[in-house]
Structure 1
C-alpha cells in the first residue's frame, strides 16, 4: 500500500536537533506508551515530555554510542542470516494527514516494501522472543512504522544476551495500525494540544507533578469530596492491607532462603544467584551531634516543607 510521505532529512542533524524534532510528534517508540504497553514509561510521563513540562530522559553519550554500534551489528547480522540488503533511511517520516505521527526507521530493506527494526535484549527477557512471540510494545512500534511509511511488511531482528540472534517477519496489520493511530490522534489532539493531562497514574512523575502544582495548602480550607472518592479510599485501604500481607510473605521467603545460605555470601540454584553480603554504611548520628555540638547542630539544620497525605476515619 503506497502512501505519500512527508520526510525530514536527518543525516546532518545534531543529536539535540533530532531530539527537538521528536518532541513535535509521536514516534514508534511512543506508540506502546500511548497504548499502555510500555513497562518503563506511562502515558502521563509521555504527556509531561511532549508538553515541554519535563526534559525527555536522555541517555549519556557512551550509551548512545554503544546503542548505535549494536544497531549496526544487528543489521549486518540480519543481512548475513537472510541474504537481504538493508540501508539507513536517514529521514524522519511523518504521516501525510497527521504530521504529528512520525517514524524514525532503523533500516529500509532493499528491493522490498519493508523496514527493519533492530533490537538488543537481556538474556532474562529471552522468553518474550520464543516461537512467534514479539513483545507487544515492539509489535505496535513496527506497525506504527508501517502505517507511516506505507510499507507492506517489517522485519525485527534482536540480539539476546549478547549471544543469541533472532529475526522475525511481521506482516502489515491494517486493523492494528488504525487502532494505534486512533489512540495517538486522541493523545496528541486532546492531551498535548489542549494541555489536558491523561489520567493520573502511580508514576513518580505524576507524584512530582501534583507536588509542584499544589505545593501549598490553604490553611483551614475544607471541601466536600465527590462521592466516588469513597470508592478510591476503600481501594486504598484494601491495597494497604494486601501490601502488609505481601510484605510478610516476602519476608518469610527471604528468611527461609537466608536459613539455607547460613554463613555463605552467595548461593546458586538453576539460573538464579542469591547473595547475602555484609555492607557498611556511615551516617551522621544526629542525636549525638545535637548533644555534643549543639551550636553546629543548629547551623546545619535544614527546614523542609511538604504536604503530608493521610486517610483516617472520622469519629
Structure 2
C-alpha cells in the first residue's frame, strides 16, 4: 500500500491536507461506529455542502495543550519505552483516501516493532460516566480503536495503544492496548471507496434523524424564493405529523402536571427549606441566584403545521 507523507507547519496547511481524505479521527463514521460524527454529516462535509468549522473547541485545545504532559507521563510510567512525538507530518493512503496524523510513536523492548500512541484527554467525571463499565473496567469507545488501527496501518506499526489522560484534582494516565483487528481495516478499505463514490455522485447515505437534525437544518435553510412543494404523494408525512401532534399535546399536558405538582409541594413545605419523607428522601426548596445575561439576537427556522381546509358544504 502506497502511503504519502505530507509535512505541514501550520494548522491551516494541516486542515487543507486532510480535507481530501476520511481521516482516522472520523473513520468510525463510515462504519456507523462514531460517537460524534455520522456518515451523513461526513458526506455533507466532504461534498462541500457544509464547511468544517476550523475553530478549535475548548476540548480540542485542552487535548493539544496536554498532549506533551500525557507523553511525558507515559515515558515516566513506562521507563523502558522510548516515546517520541509524531511530528508535523500527515500520512495518507491515496488508493483509499484515508489519512491520519499520529500523536506519537513508542518502542517497547518487550515486543517487536514500533507502536503508535493515540493520546486522549477527558475529565474525571466523563471518565467515570463513559469510559468505565458497571464492573469498573475501562471500555474503549470503538471509534477511538478504529482511529488507532488506521494510524497503525498507515505507519506500519506492529502494535497500538491509547494514552488516556484523565484530568481532575490531579492527572491520571491510563494506557489501553488496542488489538490491531485486520477485519476493521479491511472494512474501511471497502467502505471508504464506496463513501467517496457517494460524494462524487451526490447521493447521500441514509440520514440518522435522531442524530443528524442539525446537519439537515444547515443543509436546507428556509428559502423564501423556493416554490411550495407538492408532497401529496408522500404517505409517511401525515403519520409523522399526527405523531408530532400527539407528542406535543402530551408534552404540554406533562408540563402542566409538573407545574401543578410543584405548586402542591411548595404549599406542603409552607416556606420551609427542607423536609424529610418517611422513605428517607429529602425535599429542599432554597433560593438560587441567576446572573443577568443578554441573549444575542438570532435567526432560526420554525416548523408550524396549519390545519387542512374544510371542504365547503
TM-score of the pair, normalised by structure 2: 0.72
Residues 109 and 278 (structure 1 numbering): CA distance in 2 closer, same or farther, change over 3 Å?
Answer: closer
- Residue by residue over 1:268-302, the C-alpha shift from the partner in whole angstroms, topping out at 9 and shown as x without a partner, is x9xxxx9943444679xxxxxxxxxxxxxxxxxxx
1:203–1:81 distance in 2 versus 1, CA, 3 Å: same
Corresponding residue for 1:197? 204
Does structure 1 retain, via aligned residues, the 8 Å contact 2:115–2:160? yes
Q: How does 1:105-144 map to 2 (within 5 A)?
A: 105-110=102-107, 112-127=113-128, 128-130=130-132, 131-144=137-150
Contact 2:114 2:158 in 1 (8 A): yes
Q: Where do 5+ consecutive residues of structure 2 fail to align?
A: 275-280
After superposition, residues 83-102 of structure 1 pair within 5 angstroms as: 83=79, 84-90=81-87, 91-95=89-93, 97-98=95-96, 100-102=97-99
Q: Is 2:308 aligned against 1:310?
A: no
Q: Is the 8 A contact 1:152 1:171 kept in 2?
A: no
- Residue 6 of structure 2: aligned partner: 8
Superposed displacement of residue 305, structure 1: 10
| Counterpart selection for 2:26 from 24, 30, 33 | 30
| Map of 2:166 onto structure 1 | 160
Distance (Å, rounded) in 1 between the aligned partners of 2:188 and 2:265: 45
RMSD, aligned CA: 3.9
1:227 aligned onto 2:222: no
2:78 counterpart of 1:76 = no
Distance 2:33 2:265 in 1: 34
Contact 2:93 2:99 in 1 (8 A): yes
Q: 1:51: which partner in 2?
A: 47
Q: Are residues 210 and 243 of structure 1, via their aligned partners in 2, closer, same or farther at CA, if it must alter by over 3 Å?
A: farther
2-structure distance, mates of 1:77, 1:35 = 33
Counterpart mapping for 1:210-221 below 5 A = 210-212=220-222, 214-218=223-227
What is the DSSP-based 3-state SS (H/G/I as helix, E as strand, rest coil) of the residue aligned with 2:225? Answer: coil
Q: Mind listing any 5+ residue stretches in structure 1 that lack a counterpart?
A: 284-303
Distance 2:30 2:262 in 1: 37
Residues 82 and 206 of structure 1: is their aligned pair in 2 closer, same or farther, counting only changes over 3 Å?
same
Structure 1 residues 102 and 252: alpha-carbon distance in aligned structure 2, compared to 1, 3 A threshold: farther
Deviations 1:140-196 (A, max 9, x none): 211222333342321101111242221111120011222334333322221x22233
- Specify which of 182, 187, 198 is matched with residue 190 of structure 2: 182
Partner Cα separation in structure 1 for residue 49 and residue 188 of structure 2? 25
Deviation (angstroms), 1:235: 4.7
1:250 Cα deviation after fit: 7.5
Paired position in structure 2 for 1:296: none
The verdict on how the C-alpha distance between 1:61 and 1:218 changes in structure 2, with shifts beyond 3 A counting, is closer
Match of 2:216 among 206, 210, 224: 206
Question: Hey, what's the Cα distance between the residues in 2 that align with 1:145 and 1:177?
Answer: 10
Higher-helix-fraction structure: 1
| Cα distance in structure 2, aligned partners of 1:249 and 1:28 | 48
SS of the equivalent of 1:199 reads coil
Is the CA contact 2:118–2:163 (under 8 Å) kept in the aligned structure 1?
yes
| Count of residues in Structure 1 that have an aligned counterpart in Structure 2 | 280
**Contact 1:215 1:307 (8 Å CA) reproduced:** no
